[in-house]
Amino acid sequence: MSATITTTTTTTTYTSNEPLFGGTVRPRGGDGGPELHDISHSPYGSQANKESLSDAIDDMAVPSWVKAFAKNILGVGDEGNLPSESGAAKTINNFQKEHDIGLLSVEQMQKMAETGYCTGKDGKTFQVPEEVQLAAQKMMDNNGELFKKMESATDGKHDGKLGQGDYGNAIKDGTISKNGGEDGGGTSVRGLSDKDFMNAIMNGNIATTRPSEYGAAKTINDFQKEQDIGLLSVENLKMMAETGYCKDKNGNTVQVPEEVQGAAQRMMENNGELFKKLESATDGKHDGKLGQGDFGEALKDGSIGKDNGKETVTLSFDSPQKTQWGGQTDGLPSDASAAKTINDFQKDKDIGLLSVENLKMMAETGYAKDKDGNTVQVPEDVQLAAQKMMDNNGELFKKLESATDGKHDGKLGQGDYNEAIKDGTISKDTGTRGAPAPDNTPISTGGLPTGSDAAKTINEFQKHKDIGLLSVENLKMMAETGYAKDKNGNTVQVPEDVQAAAQKLMDNNGELFKKLEASTDGKHDGKLGQGDYGMAIKDGTISA
């Protein structure tokens, strides 16, 4: 059986021989739909197949809420593994008390959920128990729904900080129950039957709504005026879309209403297409800042048109093919063309050295920092070129940035382009787009080294670079970008096998890293010592 996910702008298809089955479905108000219903299923298929399908859905060119919808329909979502609301709240509260953390910020909770590490009040990073990480994931699930409910229980304020007393007050006011684990689990069955749900899918009758361009723009404009935010930056809007919190005019973290988060998500879709249209409406400048007057000007000049504020997204079902960078894999330029475009951009903007961080920002948002530190929008062809440079773990960027002096320091110089042509790294641009490169990126863990091989590779890298303690943040950077901070704080490129080894260590919520880093002294402080490898072999954690 095949199925298809269709939005008003994107259709992504994946051919699968596996039957389709129902999962937990939660169309949410902030994502456009007023309805709320759950459908549960029995597990189907191997874990490896589920992980592969989950990874493929993550790479779809659709909004995050549609990805979650798709995962839950296909039974590969995470909700079934998470604790109940009351169980998660109790676990986090006990953790706060044990570590004397008076206020736990939304940023800290997100870090805990994503990495399994937390920074204590003394500034030291330490590992949290697995049940605490799962509880944090529950708190941040569904756009941080539970965190938002809990953090305001004592004083009614949504400031992005969870106090120790909020748990007791949330029980008093009925936000959560006191049983610490029996409510809110992902196993209850209500709403449509599996048969009715399958019929609805096949007939194309599953539908929800999201803000239209006009609806999203008006919602954000109303929010700006209400909060007296003169200029809303692309960074702040991105935070709003991802977490449901933003910085107010005084720099304080505040929660935004659900419809505002949904509008922010709409603004950032398709490489921030709507944001870019709006932010330049008043003065024609693309500086990554949305002014309060831009909405009215965009209506005047026809950039957006008035409508009822909503648009319907119909979801029938055919699971997804792997795509990258917002579905642009098939439309990226050739190596030579991308290199020339970025080089021309550097010269035009007088950027002597273009950092890997700046290029990544450019690829993901369509904005970059210029030589003076100002945020500027880049042309579409430059963003596509940046995406090509960062494709396949930054393969092309790595080849180019060392062309002049052989150094991999995460900085691309203006002269690297010509040197790369001279040494044959790339050919001279013909102005044509290359065929898409074959996708050799491993899905899930297929293609990554074994745990023992990964541990050995990282240990040899540490010794070679004289890095006594390798932090979880450094290893995460290495896994995601192929760059690391050396012992002097300089950014250096790591070999491909080292990046793959780092990915293995960070796989499954950093499972292998956690095992290794405590081998010598039993401490989970988020730092991997050079001696941990040998001790892990001695205690049988890994083989030699």
* 216 and 302 inside one domain: yes
Contact between 50 and 75 under an 8 Å Cβ cutoff? The reply is yes
Q: Is the pLDDT of residue 420 over 80?
A: yes
Q: Which residue range is the domain that position 154 belongs to?
A: 85-172
Asked if the structure places residue 128 within a domain, the reply is yes
Domain boundary among 172, 203, 233: 172
Asked if the structure places residue 61 within a domain, the reply is no
Q: Is the pLDDT of residue 263 over 90?
A: yes
Asked if the structure places residue 153 within a domain, the reply is yes
Q: Residue 432: pLDDT band by 50, 70, 90 thresholds?
A: very low
Number of domains composing the chain: 4
* 333 and 302 inside one domain: no
Asked if the structure places residue 97 within a domain, the reply is yes
Q: What pLDDT score was predicted for residue 208?
A: 55
* 99 and 133 inside one domain: yes
* 356 and 404 inside one domain: yes
**Closest by alpha carbon to 528, among 513, 517, 514?**
517
Of 130-134, 365-369, 536-540, which gets the smallest average pLDDT? Answer: 365-369
Q: Which residue has the higher pLDDT, 5 or 302?
A: 302
* 157 and 233 inside one domain: no
* 219 and 303 inside one domain: yes
What is the CA angle 473-475-481, rounded to 5?
A: 95
Asked if the structure places residue 280 within a domain, the reply is yes
Q: What is the pLDDT of residues 133-192, one digit of tens each?
A: 899 989 988 777 898 889 888 888 778 889 999 999 999 988 888 765 444 443 333 344
* 333 and 305 inside one domain: no
* High-pLDDT (> 70) share of the chain, %: 72
* 386 and 472 inside one domain: no
Asked if the structure places residue 530 within a domain, the reply is yes
Q: What pLDDT score was predicted for residue 518?
A: 83
* 288 and 335 inside one domain: no
Q: Residue 315: pLDDT band by 50, 70, 90 thresholds?
A: very low
Question: In whole angstroms, what is the distance from residue 40 CA to residue 177 CA?
Answer: 22
Q: What pLDDT score was predicted for residue 293?
A: 93
Q: Residue 50: pLDDT band by 50, 70, 90 thresholds?
A: low
**pTM reported for the whole predicted model:** 0.39
Domain boundary among 278, 309, 340: 309
Q: What is the pLDDT of residues 84-109, one digit of tens each?
A: 999 999 999 999 999 999 999 887 88
Q: Is the pLDDT of residue 367 over 90?
A: no
* 303 and 333 inside one domain: no
Question: In whole angstroms, what is the distance from residue 320 CA to residue 11 CA?
Answer: 9
Q: Is the pLDDT of residue 335 over 60?
A: yes
393-413 mean pLDDT: 84
Contact between 365 and 272 under an 8 Å Cβ cutoff? The reply is yes
* 408 and 464 inside one domain: no
Contact between 141 and 82 under an 8 Å Cβ cutoff? The reply is yes
Q: Residue 451: pLDDT band by 50, 70, 90 thresholds?
A: very high
Asked if the structure places residue 131 within a domain, the reply is yes
Q: Which residue has the higher pLDDT, 211 or 446?
A: 211
* DSSP assignment string, 385-449: HHHHHHHHHHHHHHHHHTTTTS--SSEEETTHHHHHHHTTSSPPP-S-PPPPPP--PPSTTTTSP
Asked if the structure places residue 43 within a domain, the reply is no
* 220 and 264 inside one domain: yes
Question: In whole angstroms, what is the distance from residue 297 CA to residue 284 CA?
Answer: 11
* High-pLDDT (> 90) share of the chain, %: 29
Domain boundary among 406, 422, 438: 422
